[in-house]
Amino acid sequence: ASSTPSGVVVIVGSGLIGRSWAMLFASGGFKVKLYDIEQQQITNALENIRKEMKLLEQAGSLKGSLGVEEQLSLISGCSNLQEAVEGAMHIQECVPENLELKKKIFAQLDRIIDDRVVLSSSSSCLLPSKLFSGLAHVKQCIVAHPVNPPYYVPLVELVPHPETAPATVDRTYALMKKLGQSPVRMLKEVDGFALNRLQYAIISEAWRLVEEGIISPSDLDLVMSDGLGMRYAFIGPLETMHLNAEGMLNYCDRYGEGMKRVLKTFGPTPEFSGATAAKVNQAMCMKVPDDPVHLAARRQWRDECLMKLAKLKGQMQSQ
């Protein structure tokens, strides 16, 4: 039945995000076929996934109820797209963020898929109306935008095309839940979806505060990592309002005018260049030099933090 999906998942594009999706689908017990235009990418992906999964197992962070070898045996490479998609129930496109390339691949898939598969794009900012318009199977198309690294950050933004069938959204939602991800439904498409709109609002005010000499770049980051970010890992901005007064309406009563007064002082869209960019860059490089080795080490530390936070969130939910 469509409400309990089962079967084969095809990953189109076996780079960073394709690999993460493959691991997640395998953790949910799905058979995964990895496709890429470059054979070497498929080989690298399979090796890389094996290594990652072993590390996850050692850290006690492997997802799902199957053992590591069982999960690995579910994932295979496939260098023929037509063969890969035959009888598949879900296709997750993960090729580079380039509209023309993605449109070309969807046109290609449109010609070879049946009426039952869901065609899902990992795009972080291309709109479904741009990606899927004109496809014969547009009803089966959706954007499912993950957050890096998807194995530890569960959010998936589901963004429909205006012609996407409600059943496509429901099926993809159920599939994401089955993987232990946290899907949210965008009811309409909008540039930046929800996550990047919020992220850019924060980046933009952060930039202005530094630009105006109100706070240093490193202190600005602490406002988030040691302040707002602590609570935002557990409750969102709206629930924060609800809890920080005697309920939401009381919060609006008490703080609405103050919020409006401050919000009216927000400046224009920053340029993200020039002297401020140099200043922010210098501060960031003091903390993490921008050579590949230091950046990779810091990313690895970040992912370890996220892995532990994911565990903590799991424990807190089950209480």
Binding status of residue 148 toward ligand NAI by CB under 6 A: yes
Candidate residues 8, 10, 13, 156; the one interacting with ligand NAI per rule CB under 6 A:
13
Binding status of residue 190 toward ligand NAI by CB under 6 A: no
Instruction: Show contacts with ligand NAI in window 123-142 (CB under 6 A).
Output: 123-124
Stretch of 11-19, 177-185, 203-211, 250-258 contacting ligand NAI, by CB under 6 A: 11-19
Candidate residues 38, 69, 226, 246; the one interacting with ligand NAI per rule CB under 6 A:
38
* Nearest position to ligand NAI, beta carbon: 15
Candidate residues 17, 26, 46, 49; the one interacting with ligand NAI per rule CB under 6 A:
17
**Which residues, 6 or more positions from 139, have their beta carbon under 8 angstroms from its beta carbon?**
163, 164, 165, 168
Best CA proximity match to 22, nearest among 59, 64, 57? 64
Binding status of residue 163 toward ligand NAI by CB under 6 A: no
CB 100 within 8 A of CB 110: no
Candidate residues 9, 11, 94, 206; the one interacting with ligand NAI per rule CB under 6 A:
94
Candidate residues 84, 89, 91, 95; the one interacting with ligand NAI per rule CB under 6 A:
95
Binding status of residue 16 toward ligand NAI by CB under 6 A: yes
Q: CA-to-CA distance for 42 and 90, rounded, in angstroms?
A: 19
Q: CA-to-CA distance for 140 and 84, rounded, in angstroms?
A: 18
Stretch of 144-152, 160-168, 196-204, 267-275 contacting ligand NAI, by CB under 6 A: 144-152
Q: CA-to-CA distance for 56 and 64, rounded, in angstroms?
A: 12
Nearer to ligand NAI, 123 or 168 (CB): 123
Nearer to ligand NAI, 12 or 210 (CB): 12
**Residue whose token pair is 């998936």:** 156
Binding status of residue 10 toward ligand NAI by CB under 6 A: no
Q: CA-to-CA distance for 131 and 169, rounded, in angstroms?
A: 16
Instruction: List residues binding ligand NAI (CB under 6 A).
Output: 12-18, 36-38, 41, 94-97, 105, 122-124, 145-146, 148
